[in-house]
Amino acid sequence: MVDLHVKINDLELRNPVLTASGTFGYGLEFADFVPLDGLGGVIVKGTTLRAREGNDYPRMAETASGMLNCVGLQNKGVDYFRTQIYPRIKDIDTHMIVNVSGNSPEDYAECAARIDELDRIPAIELNISCPNVHQGGMAFGVTPEGASSVVRAVRARYHKTLIVKLSPNVTDIADIARACEAEGADSVSLINTLMGMAIDIERRRPVLSIATGGLSGPAVKPVALRMVYQVARAVKIPVIGLGGICTAEDAVEFLMAGATAIEIGTANFLDPAVTIKVRDGLGAWLEAHGCSSVSEIIGCLE
Ligand SMILES: Cc1cc2nc3c(=O)[nH]c(=O)nc-3n(C[C@H](O)[C@H](O)[C@H](O)COP(=O)(O)O)c2cc1C
Q: Is 21 in the pocket of ligand 1 (CB under 6 A)?
A: yes
Ligand 1 centroid distance, CA of 1 (Å): 32
Report the chain's mean pLDDT, rounded to a whole number: 97
Mean pLDDT of 182-209: 98
Ligand 1 centroid distance, CA of 154 (Å): 21
Tell me, rounded to whole angstroms, the distance of Cα 234 from its chain centroid: 19
Mean pLDDT of 42-54: 96
Ligand 1 centroid distance, CA of 63 (Å): 15
pLDDT tens, position by position, 231-253: 999 999 999 999 999 999 999 99
Q: How confident is the model at residue 296 (pLDDT cuts 50, 70, 90)?
A: very high
Give the active site residues.
Answer: 130
Q: Which atom of ligand 1 sits closest to the CA of residue 165?
A: 11
Closest Cα to atom 9, ligand 1: which residue? 46
pLDDT tens, position by position, 250-262: 999 999 999 999 9
Q: How confident is the model at residue 126 (pLDDT cuts 50, 70, 90)?
A: very high
Burial of 152 (0-12, 13-18, 19+ CB in 10 A): middle
Q: Is the pTM of this model over 0.85?
A: yes
Q: Which one, of 2, 38, 39, lies nearest residue 284 by Cα?
A: 2
What's the pLDDT at 105? 96
Q: Which one, of 70, 67, 77, 12, lies nearest residue 45 by Cα?
A: 77
Ligand 1 centroid distance, CA of 266 (Å): 7
Q: Is 216 in the pocket of ligand 1 (CB under 6 A)?
A: yes
Q: Is pLDDT above 90 for 271? A: yes
Q: Is pLDDT above 90 for 136? A: no
Q: Is pLDDT above 90 for 131? A: no
Q: CA 217, CA 154: separation in Å to the nearest integer?
A: 30
Q: Is 220 in the pocket of ligand 1 (CB under 6 A)?
A: yes
What's the pLDDT at 135? 78
**Cβ-contact 126, 132 below 8 angstroms:** no
What's the pLDDT at 73? 92
Q: Which atom of ligand 1 sits closest to the CA of residue 245?
A: 26
Q: Is pLDDT above 90 for 176? A: yes
Count other Cβ atoms within 10 Å, centred on residue 289: 11
User: What letter does residue 83 receive in the DSSP assignment?
Assistant: I
Q: Is 69 in the pocket of ligand 1 (CB under 6 A)?
A: yes
Q: Which one, of 163, 179, 156, lies nearest residue 127 by Cα?
A: 163
What's the pLDDT at 137? 82
Q: Is 281 in the pocket of ligand 1 (CB under 6 A)?
A: no
Ligand 1 centroid distance, CA of 14 (Å): 23
Q: How confident is the model at residue 144 (pLDDT cuts 50, 70, 90)?
A: very high
What's the pLDDT at 133? 80
Q: Is 161 in the pocket of ligand 1 (CB under 6 A)?
A: no
Q: Is 99 in the pocket of ligand 1 (CB under 6 A)?
A: yes
Percent over 70 (pLDDT), the chain: 100
Probe ligand 1: pick from 140, 216, 271, max atoms within 8 Å of CB? 216
What's the pLDDT at 302? 78
Closest Cα to atom 11, ligand 1: which residue? 127
What's the pLDDT at 120? 98
